[in-house]
Amino acid sequence: MNKNDDPWITEQEAMDLLENKTKKINAVSPSFCTAKWLQTTLMLQNGFNHSCHHPSPHKIPVSEVEENPAALHNSKFKKEQRAKMLKGERPSECDYCWKIEDLGENYYSDRHHKSSDYWAWDRFEEIANSDPDADMYPSYLEVSFSNACNFACAYCSPEISSKWMEDIKQNGPYPVEFGSHHLDHIMELGKFPYKHSEHNPYVEAFWKWFPDALPHLKVFRMTGGEPTMSKDFWETLEYIKKSPPVQDLEIAINTNLGVPDELIDKLIAQINSLADKVKDVVVYTSAESKGSQAEYVRDGINYEKWMANIKKILDNTDSRVCVMTTINILSLPTFNEFVYDIMKLRVKYNPGLKINRIPLSVNYLRFPPHLQVTLLDSSVRNEYAEKIERHFEQWTKRTPGAYLWEYHQIQRFCEYMRTDQTSGPKYRKNFVDFIKEFDRRRKKNFSETFPEFAHLLIEWDNYDHE
């Protein structure tokens, strides 16, 4: 469902609308996705870009942005992928959606959801008839200025989190095949972040390009690292406040909600001060498990404080707080309890079915591979899938409860968990080695925190997938 379409239509009407839009999208080509033209994520700390959160980011050559600041969004690589889509070819970087669509014709991937969403649909004809080599302004722009972060989540990496950078500089890489923990490898890939004291040509290009891009935006999202720890984040909010109003603009702020109280209070004040300048300011935050298990994976979070800060924002602003998930193997034991906590928030803060102040986005982890749900035996995955699906289905029948579009996300995750037969088991030994080292460095105890999986440290040690 396109959650920002007409809020007064029923959920079934919204699904019918998505089906009709999907037919138009596929009529352009079976791989056409306007997100490749209209959505971009910029990691200015190292010059990487991707068109949505599924493809792996690609490096934008410095020479491109020095010649043309618009190359931040319109890199030569991205233009090549646009040309492929118009010809009906599947860019390999978009395999997340191809896997979903290959499950069957009744499965809607994010290619369909994004292309038909409110920020993209009004430009559908423009993009369908465009020159793939032309520079386009995005409708949905996400920016990370810095890797500064006070969290070091298990599946994160040094180029995104300064806490991770501290860990690797002090202790060296983790003994796993993949995970972006080798600083030499990060340097080779061009992902090593600029120091705050260094001149950053990507930030310079951003400030040359952003004033022209701002009036075209429907969504402007700032992320990190932890954005509230970056001076550029606060300067950007001030710039928008001093600019002419952009009445169609939604500002989205990704935050772990684990920063000191003074930053949370400052964020609340900024949200309220922007009320007359833009259409909406939305807070995005992340979790996918509960209590000590959430605190193990999202190293740095205090789960109760996280919940308290969600309530603080809901109590003191008109903003929504959207909860994003990255479901991994360590999410499964308490995922249903986590969903229950989200639904309790809805009981208090949702004024009715038409307004959902705490949306839930269901996404699953694919990298690093040693934390994927596919490491588990299929029988165990089937059991978890059944429990999660049954639990979520019950919430769709309650008021307030889960929404149909959320249930569809759950269904496709559970179907993936049941059916995926890729190389998950080959990384079981990596999982054991990572957990042991993670426990040592972070002063944690996996077996006590995850008694459901304690046996895996024995069974998967020296695992031979051959």
Q: Which residue ranges does the chain devote to CATH 3.20.20?
A: 147-192+218-459
Does residue 453 register a pLDDT over 90? yes
Report, as an integer, the average pLDDT of 240-263: 96
Does residue 185 register a pLDDT over 90? no
Q: How confident is the model at residue 211 (pLDDT cuts 50, 70, 90)?
A: very high
Report, as an integer, the average pLDDT of 92-111: 91
Residue 8's pLDDT is what?
A: 54
Does residue 407 register a pLDDT over 90? yes
Q: How confident is the model at residue 293 (pLDDT cuts 50, 70, 90)?
A: very high
Does residue 458 register a pLDDT over 90? yes
Architecture of domain 147-192+218-459: Alpha-Beta Barrel (3.20)
Q: How confident is the model at residue 415 (pLDDT cuts 50, 70, 90)?
A: very high
Residue 466's pLDDT is what?
A: 55
Distance CA 263, CA 256 (A): 12
Does residue 12 register a pLDDT over 60? yes
Does residue 3 register a pLDDT over 60? no
Residue 250's pLDDT is what?
A: 96
Does residue 6 register a pLDDT over 70? no
Mean pLDDT of the chain: 93
Report, as an integer, the average pLDDT of 53-59: 89
Does residue 303 register a pLDDT over 80? yes
Report, as an integer, the average pLDDT of 286-312: 98
Residue 465's pLDDT is what?
A: 63
Residue 197's pLDDT is what?
A: 80
